[in-house]
Structures are given as C-alpha cells and as structure tokens.
Amino acid sequence: MQKFSIIEKFTELFSELGNCKEEVQKQKIEELYGLMDKMDKKEFKSIFSRELFDKIGKMLEANKLSLENTIVLSKFIGFCNSLQGLCIESFDSSLLGTKFEKMIIEENKKKEGKNEKLLIGLCECFLALSYDTSSELIPVCVPCLLKGALNKEENEEIQKEGEMALLALSCVDQFYDLRQDLYLNEIKEIITYHKEHRNLTCLAYQSIWNLNELHFLKEAAKELEELSKCVDWKKKEVEEISKEESKKELILMRWIEILEIYFLYCNLWNEEYVSLFSSIVQVSRAARENKREICYWCICSLRSAAKNRNVRVEDLLKGGAIDVVLEEMNQSTLDDAIIWNCLNFFLNISRRLKEKEDDEKEEEERKELKRKIFEKMEEKGFEDCEIGFRELVFEVKNLFIAQPCVCLIILFLNLTLKYYRLELTLVK
C-alpha cells in the first residue's frame, strides 16, 4: 500500500467498525493500528480530529463499539501519539474525552466492586491523549498507573499493560507531584526492577527514565549511543525508511527532547554531564546533513543546559558542546530555527562568563575558561566575539520582535554569519 493512500484506507476501515461483531472489530482495530504506525506526523494530525473522537464516543454510546474495544483503540491512538511526540488538543473537549473522564471519576468513587483493570485502561487512554495534563484527574490516574507499572507478573498481557502505563505516566505534566517526593519510592522501584530485567521495549524503558530526575544521565548517554547505531544517517528525512528504522529515530528524538526538558529544570550538578554532552554532540554531528529535526533538538538541549546555572560551562566545553554549536553556525546552508538556538546558547554562555567570582581562585578559573572559549570561537572564524557577541544577539532578538518578515531575519543571520564576524559594527 502506497503512502498517499493511508488516510483513505484508515477512513474506510474506520467506517466499517460500527457494522460488525466484536471479534471482527478487534481484527479491524489491529489493522487500524498498523495504519497508524505507518503515518507521519502530518497524516496523524489530520486524522485524529475532534470529529473522529466524537464518532468513537457516539459508537460507544450506541453500543456499536464495545467498551473493551474502545479502550484498545484509544490505547493504540495514545501509543502512536506519544511516539510521534504530538499533542491532540481536540480529545479533551470531544465526546470520547468527556465520557472517559466521567467513567474514571465514577469508577474511582466505588468503595466496593471497583474494576482495577478497567480503571487502569481508562487512565492510560486519558493521560496518553489528554492535552490538559494539569487536569484534576491526574491525582486519580497517577497512583493507579504506578500500580499497573509495578505489576511484576511475567506474561505478555501484563507486560504490554505495564508498557502502556509507563508511557501514559511519561505524558504527565512535569510540574506535577509525580516528579516530587510523593511517588519517588514507587518510581525507584519501577526503575530498579525493569533495569534488572530489561524486558520492555525501548520506548517503555525510556518512559521510565522520563519519570525520574535523580540519576538517569549515564543510562541516557548509553541509550543515545545504542540508538545512534540503529539510524541510517546517510538517508535523508524525505527518503523512505523501514518502519523499524523510523521508530528508532523517533525514540532517539524523544530522548533528546526529554534531556532538553531535564536541563531546563535540573537543580543539582552531576559528574556525568560531560559524557552525556559528548553523546548529544555525536548525535548532532551525525544528524547534521540529513536529519535536521534531530539536529535541532540536540542544539535545543545544549541551549537549555547552557542556561541552567547548575550545569557547569566547563562541562559544556569538555563535552564538545561549544565546538558543535560553532560548527553548526559555520554551515553554508543555515537553518534559522537552529541558528537562533545557537545564538541563545552563546548568549547564555556570555552572561555566565561575565559574572565575576568573589573567591580569587574561582575568579582565575573563570577567566581561564573564558579565554579557552574565545580561542575556540576564533579557531572557527568568529573573531572579536568578546566585543560584540552579546550586542549582536540582543540586536537579533529585537529584530525578531520588531520585524515580522522571516525572510529578512534569515537574510540578516546569513549575512552576519557568512562572513564570520560577530561584531557590533555589523548590526548598526
């Protein structure tokens, strides 16, 4: 089946769901999942509108789709949605979204005869599909899904349930108590158990680490290196790749996205930062020519790290982050989104290097670090950076705000960086 026919095939197959028996429905839902698995982001977003979720809700109300099959279909949608890293805003206001919310509340209120399996399934669907992850349902869903993820029975059904629970949990808003002391012991137990048994898919295993901010950096670096070996970096993004290759790329990109968020909010220095930066740098270089979206997220994660004062500038230098950002700025074909993150990376570095230390020894170390970074920049052709870099970035920022024409912005960046001069004279 050719790529352009996926949406038509999905629509046709979906329209048949309400006119067949439950067992046949299960088969058709598996087929629908196969089609979802082949969709790219644009195709996926075009299919899963509020209208489609309303249709599923109406089929459930009219008993044309059983509750069990509705949950299975919703899990498949949620799984693919999470893998793609998309946000389906239409689910929350849809008939299906409101029905799931009501069912979760009603089932949770039961003091006797509570159906734990049903509740876990509903919570998995809700968290994996809900855009509003600050919902009041989260305090209900999180303990329920942690319980599901901690189920250690060794059979295929329980394993799949645990994987979906972990994936749904990884969608929870990062500011919620899931990342605080309230559930820390449960999260540690999940991580320890699954690390020892290694019996989950890469995506589910990744989701465990997404729940824990304490000590996942060495493991993240290892995962990046392993996944990097599975990607054909010579193939361009527009070229056809196998389903397995596509999944590996998506999982690799999710790791980088997780790290970008981690670096924004981490509040402790970690000695493993250097090796992790080194892994991100290797991925960025490999992705530079043909996988620009992956390259973009690599630069984003380094920009976030440079902004966080709990991450040492020295570690960014040792891990090769300075080099790879400068290399990106030296590309003949510049990507405005990536270059903007490069400029912000150095703006953050510049701010931090300007802050003098009270301790004499630390002040000497700061000056030495500053000298090394400027030498790096001069080696790459960026002269006079100390004089004008900070001013240049502020001028670019003002241009972004004042001038809505993207073409002029890109032209400005290209002209500035083409001649490798980061001086104030260029923006006057």
Q: What are the structural domain ranges in the chain?
A: 1-212
The CA distance from 324 to 376, in Å, is: 11
Q: Who wins on pLDDT, 201 or 61?
A: 61
Q: Which residues face 291 on adjacent strands?
A: none
Residue 30: is its pLDDT beyond 90? yes
What is the reported pLDDT for 12?
92
Tens digit of each residue's pLDDT (9 = 90 or more) over 50-69? 999 999 999 999 999 999 99
pLDDT band at 147; cut points 50, 70, 90: confident
- Entry field: residues in the chain: 428
Instruction: Please compute, for residue 39, the number of CA atoms within 13 A of its CA located in the half-sphere on the CB side.
Output: 27
The CA distance from 280 to 321, in Å, is: 8
Q: Who wins on pLDDT, 372 or 405?
A: 372
Residue 232: is its pLDDT beyond 80? yes
Phi-psi sector, 320: left (phi>0), alpha (psi -120 to 50), beta: left
Q: Which residues face 216 on adjacent strands?
A: none
Nearest partner of 56 among 83, 30, 95, 22, judged by Cα: 95
Contacts 24+ apart (CB under 8 A), 392-399: 392/343, 392/416, 392/422, 392/423, 392/424, 392/426, 392/427, 393/343, 393/344, 393/346, 393/347, 393/350, 395/427, 396/340, 396/343, 396/427
Q: What angle do CA 177, 87, 1 make, to 5 degrees?
A: 135
The CA distance from 160 to 221, in Å, is: 26
Residue 22: is its pLDDT beyond 80? yes
**Residue 419 DSSP code:** T
Would you call 246 helix, strand, or coil by DSSP? helix
What is the reported pLDDT for 202?
66
What is the reported pLDDT for 198?
64
Residue 197: is its pLDDT beyond 60? yes
Would you call 232 helix, strand, or coil by DSSP? coil
The arithmetic mean of pLDDT across residues 317-327, rounded, is: 93
Q: Compute and round to an integer the Cα radius of gyration of the chain.
A: 24
Q: With pLDDT > 70 as the criterion, what percentage of the chain qualifies?
A: 78
Mean pLDDT computed over every residue of the chain: 79
Q: Who wins on pLDDT, 425 or 46?
A: 46
Q: What angle do CA 183, 259, 172 make, to 5 degrees?
A: 40
Tens digit of each residue's pLDDT (9 = 90 or more) over 329-349? 887 666 678 888 888 898 888
CA dihedral sign of residues 353, 355, 356, 357:
negative
What is the reported pLDDT for 180?
52
What is the reported pLDDT for 201?
66
